[in-house]
Structure 1
Amino acid sequence: MDESKKMLEIAYKALEDKKGESILALDITGISIVADYFLITNGNSDAQNRALMEAAEEALEKAGYTPKQIEGNHHSDWVLMDYGDIIIHIFTKESRDFFDLARIWSDGKRVEL
């Protein structure tokens, strides 16, 4: 299994364990040089979004991956966690609906995990 897919699976499981809503994994290889995958979810509260962010960061760190950059924080409407090969987007429900990354990146292939 390639590294980016392994990272995706680790992060997905962490978000799933913290009850991230409507977790969407998109394969964006071939349509973007930004990353191989986007992982998109939302929580229901600041506390849940913080838990989602911390769970993903902790799980990836445990596997030896460190973020290149994290934008936003647990009080933000949108947290972007850039791990190079994967980018994790954690939104509030309202921000997720507003930015609608699934529509913007609709050329990406949905990945079932």
Structure 2
Amino acid sequence: MESKQLVYLAAKSADDKKAQDIIVLNMEGISLIADYFIICHGNSEKQVQAIAEEVKDKAQENGVSIKRLEGKDESRWILVDLGGVIVHVFHKDERSYYNLEKLWGDAPQLDIAEKLM
């Protein structure tokens, strides 16, 4: 599966679990670790877990292997590494603290609004 298709699959999966403020950063030419970052948040530890679990399950159902899943025990920032796409699922408090959008501010955002409808 191409990275862009995987972005839409992962973003839709997060949206299905009511992830908040989903943004996609195009990291091509900026980062060597992934083509895209998806950043979103949940309002509780349980919701953060549910979002990450849904992303993982939908990826696996579509033949995508999970390279790494980190942070599930604490559920404050769960990272789901899908290879070319890395999904960052934050608790709302942690998201504002780490502010990855600002850290990677030079990365263009991919508009996914139509894909989530």
Query: What TM bracket, shorter-length normalisation?
Result: over 0.9
3-state SS, counterpart of residue 34 of structure 2: coil
Q: How does 1:10-89 map to 2 (within 5 A)?
A: 10-73=9-72, 75-89=74-88
How far apart are residue 54 of structure 1 and its match? Answer: 1.0
Tell me the TM-score normalised to structure 1 length: 0.95
Q: State how many pairs are aligned.
A: 112
Unaligned runs of 5+ in 1: none
Answer yes or no: is the 8 Å Cα contact 1:25–1:111 preserved in 2.
yes
Answer yes or no: is the 8 Å Cα contact 1:49–1:74 preserved in 2.
no
Tell me the TM-score normalised to structure 2 length: 0.91
3-state SS, counterpart of residue 39 of structure 2: strand
Question: What corresponds to 1:101 in structure 2?
Answer: 100
Q: How many percent of aligned residue pairs carry the same amino acid?
A: 37
Q: How far, CA to CA, are the matches of 2:21 and 2:86 in structure 1?
A: 16
Unaligned runs of 5+ in 2: 113-117
Q: How far, CA to CA, are the matches of 1:76 and 1:50 in structure 2?
A: 6
Answer yes or no: is the 8 Å Cα contact 1:8–1:39 preserved in 2.
yes
3-state SS, counterpart of residue 25 of structure 1: strand
| 1:38-89: CA deviation from partner (whole Å, max 9, x where unpaired) | 0000001111111101110111111100111111105331111111100000
Q: How far, CA to CA, are the matches of 1:43 and 1:109 in structure 2?
A: 23
RMSD of aligned alpha carbons: 1.1
